[in-house]
Amino acid sequence: MLVLRAIIVMMVFSLTGCTYYLWSLSDTRSTTVREMNFSDRISGMFEYKNVHLTEGDNGTGRDIIRLPDEGVGFVGDDNIYFVTVNGNELLALNDLMKKVPLRMNNDDKFIDMNLKGYYSKNTNAEFQKTVSVRTRKPLATLTQSQKKALEDKRFSSVEGYLQRSVTVEGIIINRMRLGSSFPQTTSLDESYQVRFYSSYRYDKFDSGSVALKLALTPVTLIGDVVFIPLYLLTAK
């Protein structure tokens, strides 16, 4: 009898054009899912200046990816990571770590990054990360020169330590696309595993899914790339 009543109700709503209303009564709640798309081993850091990324092998094509006039990036086994927003802040933190023991990552094994939405047709992906760095030692044990150096970089006191955050953004280029136009570098003694995550709603299409093989058009790098000591990721 209960099934019969349900069928009759559905027929009435269908005849009156209210089928949509029936669907709206169902539970459409969804859950935000955070999913790891890929990981890479980071083994180097570089500064870049006046770099142009062009299509083709001869470097005469048009620029396909706009980069700042200067910035920093990271070398991975599979990809090259160009920081496009707040690279100068990242570089300043990297230099500061030569003077003051700092801690960047809460996980001693991994550094997690967020992927941003769809691929563009030219980059393999875009990433974003809010980097939070704090002193290893309590504020009370730091020297005056260390305190000044940190305060000059806009560190502030948080729970007895000096701390600051900076949000960086950048692009990911599959290393195979750059070929021999990207300078070779010797891997560091230590390397760091970086994981890339995307978030999406369970009831919608996953716009953050990553397939690094989607964009493999050859890219030529023209400009200055200088490898520098990698202190930033060692602050764990």
pLDDT tens digits, residue range 44-91? Answer: 889 999 998 887 655 556 667 788 999 999 999 999 999 999 988 888
Predicted confidence (pLDDT) at residue 123 exceeds the cutoff of 60: yes
Kindly report the pTM of this predicted structure.
0.74
- Domain residue ranges of the chain, discontinuous segments joined by +: 1-29, 31-234
Concatenated DSSP letters of 18-82: -HHHHHHHS-----EEEEEEEEEEEEEEEEEEEEEEEESSSS-S-EEE---SEEEEEEESSEEEE
Q: Give the Cα separation of 221 and 219 in Å (integer).
A: 7
Please name the residue that has the structure tokens 């990324």: 53
The tens digit of pLDDT for each residue in 4-27 reads 454 444 444 344 444 444 334 444
| H or E stretch covering 134 | strand 125-135
